[in-house]
Each structure stands twice: as structure tokens, then as C-alpha cells.
Structure 1
Amino acid sequence: MDPILFVHGFGANERQYQPIIRYLEQKGIKNFYEFIYDSSVGLHPIKTIAKELSEYIAENMKEENINIIGISQGGIIALAYLKYYKNKNVKKLFTLCSPHKGSRLANILNLPGIIDLRPNSKLLKELEAFAQDQKIDIYSVYTPFDLMVFPGWNARTKYGKTKIVFAPAHPVAFFWPATKIFIYKNLK
């Protein structure tokens, strides 16, 4: 199995995806990488973080093919990496509650990394156009009860394979049983 790289979301860290790692380890998958970045205040534009992701991959991942699981903002960072800085063959990209169409909450703060996540932002439009033409497998998971990516259906994509999970909140969807099963089945 190709290695899996996790990219956490805004204001989070590696604890955000540990339940997914534990589940995949129980299924025999063991090769994981974790990209940790400063996500506390939204001062850095998404493209800047995507460049840091590219540098992390170049320095740490020797495998030719990889899979990426991006959680919330991490999914948008991963898409930006694919568009602007790709240096590895990404087989599959999973985005979990990522604001592909933006979040209305992003209108509250006027910070570069948050502005990128506003509905109809230039970056999100560029990424959507890019992703529709890609030859990689893209999978997205969303919950209609998401109050971070608001409204929740803004985490759906027009491309790839989408899974709705009825998790009661944004962070719960990351480790919801249906989410973990969806990831595992589609990694094979």
C-alpha cells in the first residue's frame, strides 16, 4: 500500500486524525506521514502552507506514489499543493469536511488564510477548476450538520466521489465510523 500523508485542519494538530490512523492500523495499514504546520491564527495564505507541504514531502517521503488525507482546511491545502507545487505522484486524495465551496464563517476574520476559505474566493474557484480536470482519484466526506464549513454541503465536490455522513458536528465527522470505512474501502 502506498503511504498515507495526513494534513490537519485550521487550529488543529495531529490529534485530529489519530482515530483514523488507529482504525487503519487495525486493518493492517502502517505507513503514515504527518504534515504539521502552524494553523493557529490563519495568518498564512493557503498557497504558502501548500508550499511548506511540498517541501515536507520532498524532504521526508522517499516513496514515488502517495495518498493524502486532508482534514477540513487540510484538504484545501492538499488541493493547492496538487495545483501549484506537486512533486510526487498522488494516487488518491481524501478531503474530510473541507470547505471546497467556502465557509460563511470565513467572512468573520480578515486574515489571509481565512480569506482563502470564503465562499467564491479566487483560490477556491481555481482549485475547483483544477480538480475537475485531474486524473487522480478525489474523495470527499461531508456532514450536513457542519457548523464550521457552513453550510455543510459546501464540503461537497462536483468531481470525484462524495460521501455524506450524518455525524452531528464538524470534528465528529473525522472519526465517524462511516468516514473511516469509506476511507479504508477506497484506499484499496
Structure 2
Amino acid sequence: MSIKNQQRNPVLLIHGIGDTEIVFRKMRAYLIQQGWSVYTLNLVPNNGDLGLDELAKQIADYVTANFASGQLLDLVGFSMGGIVSRYYVQRLGGIKRVQRFITISSPHNGTVLAYASQRPGCIQMRPNSLFLQDLNADIDMLKQLHFTSIWTPYDLMIVPAKSSQMLVGKEMVMRVGLHSWMLTNFNTLAAISQILAQPINSILNSDSEL
């Protein structure tokens, strides 16, 4: 392994509702081929029966169990996993461990589809939920990280799709047809690789669209 690759942070991938780590099979293989050490975990339960704040504790426990105390990480969260990851970063001390943070099609401002379920995790993902209001109240703390939100305007799971937009960090819009395709689309994979490879002190001044 090259010195350049040795200096890279390990990457932790967090899946969405109803998913397992298997959804990252293509992304994980792609990033490993590019030289990263990639980790995944299964959030349990994955169906919304447990609050997102409780799921975030599983990320905290996983990080403590698998990485040295001084090891910095890069974090990628898909859909619900992006919101769970935000809670870890903003409320459970992840801000001290994470350098690059990427969310993919995550309902930062909620999704109306969450009204279809009374499960605690789904209630928290409703538009204007108390949970999201709390996280968004101090969204500026994410400015301490290299934060990027990636989303598609064609998303039928995040409704409205613009709910995946954030007021901080960098935004990348991908013209991808389906929510799940965001994890396998080549442009998305290439963009994630590019973001993870950027020096942490680089400043991105413009949004982009692919």
C-alpha cells in the first residue's frame, strides 16, 4: 500500500431504513479498489422500530470497538443512515472523530412518506418533526467538518426531494432515476471517491450537478 493510501482515513458506511450493509456491496468494492479501508455495520432493528437517536448509539459503540481512540474517520450515510449519522456527529461526540461526512439522499428536512408509519424512527423523519428541528437548530456545527450532501431531484423516497438539501457544506446534485441507484451509479461513486480524496483543508466554493 502506498504512503498516500496509508494516510487516508478509514471510511464507515451507514445504511438506510429496511437495508443492511449489503446495499454498499458495489460502493465498498469500488472504494477498496481505490485504496480505502472500508467498514460497515448493520443497524438493528432496521425498520424504524427504534428511534434514530438509539441507532446512533450503535455507531458510537462500533467506532469505539473498532478504531483506536485517536483514529479519525470519514463517514458516509445513505437515506435514514445519514440522519442517524448526523445524530452521532452532532450529539454523541462524533464531531471529534469525523473529518469528512457525506450524506446520500437523506431526509434532512423530513419526507412525507414517513407519515405512512407510526414507528418511532419514521415519526422522527417526518417534516418538521421535533427530532429534525433539534438537529437543524445547530446545523452550523457541521461547518467544522468537510460536509457534503448528495441527492437526486428524481427521488421518490425523499419527498420532496429537496429535503435532502442542507444549508451548510457542499451540495452535489446527481441526475439519478431512483433512490436506491444512488449507491450504484458510477457518477455517485466517482464523486464520493473524489470527496474522500480531497485534503481536509480544501475549500469548495461552488455546488455542482452531474
Task: Give the shorter-chain TM-score range.
Answer: over 0.9
Deviation at residue 39 of structure 1 after TM alignment: 3.9
Deviation at residue 61 of structure 1 after TM alignment: 1.6
User: Contact between 1:103 and 1:148, CA under 8 Å: does it hold in 2?
Assistant: yes
TM-score normalised per structure 1: 0.94
Higher radius of gyration, 1 or 2 = 2
**Number of aligned pairs?**
187
Of 165, 170, 173, the residue aligned with 2:174 is: 165
Of 113, 119, 124, the residue aligned with 1:111 is: 119
User: Contact between 2:99 and 2:145, CA under 8 Å: does it hold in 1?
Assistant: yes
- Structure 1 pair 146/39, CA: closer, same or farther in 2 (3 Å)? farther
* 1:65 is the counterpart of 2:50: no
Residues 91-114 of structure 1, C-alpha deviations (whole Å, 9 max, x = no match): 011101010010000011111010
* 1:76 is the counterpart of 2:83: yes
Deviation at residue 131 of structure 1 after TM alignment: 2.7
User: Contact between 1:102 and 1:149, CA under 8 Å: does it hold in 2?
Assistant: yes
- What residue ranges of structure 2 are gaps of 5+ in the alignment? 1-7, 198-210
Q: Percent identity?
A: 29
Counterparts of 1:45-64 in structure 2, within 5 Å, are 45-62=51-68, 64=71
Question: Which residue in the other structure is 1:35 paired with?
Answer: 41
Deviation at residue 129 of structure 1 after TM alignment: 2.7
Quick one: distance in 2 between partners of 1:70 and 1:4? 11
TM-score normalised per structure 2: 0.85
What is the alpha-carbon root mean square deviation over aligned residues? Answer: 1.3
Structure 1 consecutive aligned stretches of length 4 or more whose deviation exceeds 4 Å: none
Q: AA paired with 1:37?
A: L
User: Contact between 2:107 and 2:125, CA under 8 Å: does it hold in 1?
Assistant: yes
Deviation at residue 38 of structure 1 after TM alignment: 1.9
Name which of structure 1's ranges 124-133 and 48-57 shifts more when overlaid on structure 2. Answer: 124-133
User: Contact between 1:9 and 1:74, CA under 8 Å: does it hold in 2?
Assistant: yes
Q: AA paired with 1:11?
A: G
Question: Which residue in the other structure is 1:136 paired with?
Answer: 145
- What residue ranges of structure 1 are gaps of 5+ in the alignment? none
SS of the aligned residue for 2:157 comes to coil
Residues 132-173 of structure 1, C-alpha deviations (whole Å, 9 max, x = no match): 233011111111111111111111111111111111010011
Quick one: distance in 1 between partners of 2:58 and 2:35? 30
Q: AA paired with 1:108?
A: A
